[in-house]
Amino acid sequence: MRYDLTADEVRTLLNLEPHESCGFVRVTFISNQRIAPGGLPAPFLDGRRSSKVAAIDLNRLRAHFDIAVAKSRRAGRLTLLGHAEAKLPASPADARLETFPNPAPHRNYRIHFETDDFTSVCPVTGQPDFARIDIDYIPDRWCVESKSLKFYLASYRNEQAFNEAVTNRILDDFVKACAPREAVITAQFSARGGIALTVRAEYPRKKLRRNDV
């Protein structure tokens, strides 16, 4: 069951100190949809006028709140577009996919990216692996900005990983950045030893039917 707090209630709750014995803060449920932090004025403190009393791990709440605030502050801030002096990141860990608000969140529509310039490195031989990368997704609240995507994909040029790992990491990072309704990453790697390899990773994960295996 989900209970939502207003922004003011979250701030009030975060300003409380956890109980010294257990590290938790008590909150009182005052209806089926709302909860009141234990720091609110009476009569909600003693729980007499409500049906349920619960405890919240304040440290965990603060951690989740800090992450949400950081994401909301980062979202929509474009630092690469229009900045010619921007340098390519050294690795995917140093790269960041930037986003901007979806102009039509009420509608399902597809966005397609493609590039033939992708390169990663085989972790065994140290030889470069060349690939065509196609990205198709249905945005939800955020769209991925294309220059940041270009820089992100370029950051794999010195990354040692198998083709399968590379494709799945791209999908994971893409989903983490923009939380799309759907996303498909298709990586077509050039032939090595006479065999070409294509990896397709999808989000959300679909249940396999017996005939699909």
Q: Does position 122 have pLDDT exceeding 70, yes or no? A: yes
User: Looking at 73-87, 157-171, 179-193, which range is the least confident one?
Assistant: 73-87
Closest listed residue to residue 129, CA positions, set 153, 163, 88 = 163
Residues with Cβ within 8 Å of 88's Cβ and at least 6 positions away in sequence, in order, are: 151, 154, 155
User: Looking at 2-11, 74-83, 122-131, which range is the least confident one?
Assistant: 2-11
User: Looking at 19-23, 106-110, 161-165, which range is the least confident one?
Assistant: 19-23
The angle that helices 58-74 and 7-14 make with each other, rounded to 10 degrees, is 130
Closest listed residue to residue 160, CA positions, set 109, 123, 192 = 123
Predicted confidence band at 82 (pLDDT cuts at 50, 70, 90)?
Answer: confident
Q: Does position 105 have pLDDT exceeding 60, yes or no? A: yes
Q: Does position 85 have pLDDT exceeding 70, yes or no? A: yes
Amino acid 3: pLDDT:
43
Say if domain 93-212 classifies as CATH 3.30.1130.10: yes
Catalytic positions, please? 122, 129
Q: Where in the chain is the domain with CATH 3.30.1130.10?
A: 93-212
pTM: 0.64
Amino acid 156: pLDDT:
98
Q: Does position 24 have pLDDT exceeding 80, yes or no? A: no
91 residue type, one letter: S
Predicted confidence band at 35 (pLDDT cuts at 50, 70, 90)?
Answer: very low
Distance from C-alpha of 97 to C-alpha of 137, rounded to nearest angstrom: 14
**Sheet-wide strand order for 35-37:** 35-37, 24-29, 52-57
Residues with Cβ within 8 Å of 71's Cβ and at least 6 positions away in sequence, in order, are: none
Amino acid 30: pLDDT:
44
Reduced to 3 states, what is the DSSP secondary structure of residue 24? strand
